Amino acid sequence: MPVPRVCVLRAPGTNCDEETAFAFESSGARADRVHLFQLLENPKQLAEYQVLCLPGGFSYGDDIGAGVIFASQLRGHLGEALGDFLKADKLALGICNGFQVLLKAGLLPGGSTSWPPRSDIAADATLTWNDNGKYTALWVRLKVASSKNVFLRGIDEIDMPIAHGEGKLVARAPSIIERWQANGQVALSYVEGAGGRGQESGDSGQGASSELLPYPTNPNGSMANIAGLGDPTGRVLGLMPHPERFLFATQHPHWTRLGLRGEGAGMQIFRNAVEYFTA
């Protein structure tokens, strides 16, 4: 099978594109770091790729809100190219700032089923300031809450680091979250046990909770403890934690205590994307 190609789309202020491209290439893909301005000049270039990834960082300095300007560029100037991409059997991933962009552009939660978004309909959800009101960087434990998302195949629970100021997912109404849950779109939830806490005796955490978990288990106050959201097809994923920062076991804060060796657990997310096209 041909090696899948990944477009790691960066904008002014993006700062995780090199690590993300490295993660995809280490998983067997060919990854190109493409500047947004290049794609704006030639939107048809997107058709050459099987995976679109929006990495983390602070696009446009988050000057009027995290991901807002990047999202408006996608929605206003790349709508047709993105529509064609979403309707094909391809994948899209947004990490941290990339998740903020996907949500605020309208690529999530509906994916191809609601793209392009209608301007006269209020957004179902947004990502806003953490409850503590400040940038927060720590390790969290996550429970895979949906079996349908391509990126999360073979994963039950996973540790990953977060690093953001606006990661609180807020929906307009609880019924929206209930609909996501029914559709298998709530992809990842924060659970107890981050960084090795409660795991040394084999305890893998307490599982997903319907009650709002406190800081630091839920580090931003997201409704329903949501850390990641997918589209109805399972081919789009947005998540606040950074899988590209756990590619090697030694990146885990308790790698010696837990006896971790070799590859980090975050690599599986990128490998799943590659294997979708090569397996």
Active site residues: 96, 242, 244
CA distance 207 to 80: 40
Q: How far apart are CA 102 and CA 169, in angstroms?
A: 13
Are the C-beta atoms of residues 171 and 177 closer than 8 Å to each other? yes
DSSP-derived secondary structure for 56-106: -B-GGGGBTBTTHHHHHHHHHHSHHHHHHHHHSS-EEEEETHHHHHHHHHT
Helices (H), the chain: 17-26, 36-41, 68-77, 79-87, 97-105, 174-182, 255-258, 267-278
Q: Which amino acid makes up residue 195?
A: G
For 111, the 3-state DSSP assignment is helix
**CB-based contacts of 237: which residues, under 8 Å, 6+ apart?**
92, 93, 94, 149, 150, 151, 152, 187, 228, 229, 230
Nearest one of 30, 87, 24 to 55, comparing CA atoms: 24
Question: Three-class SS of residue 1?
Answer: coil
Do 276 and 91 contact (CB within 8 A), yes or no?
A: yes
Q: What are φ and ψ of residue 251, in 5° steps? A: -80, -15
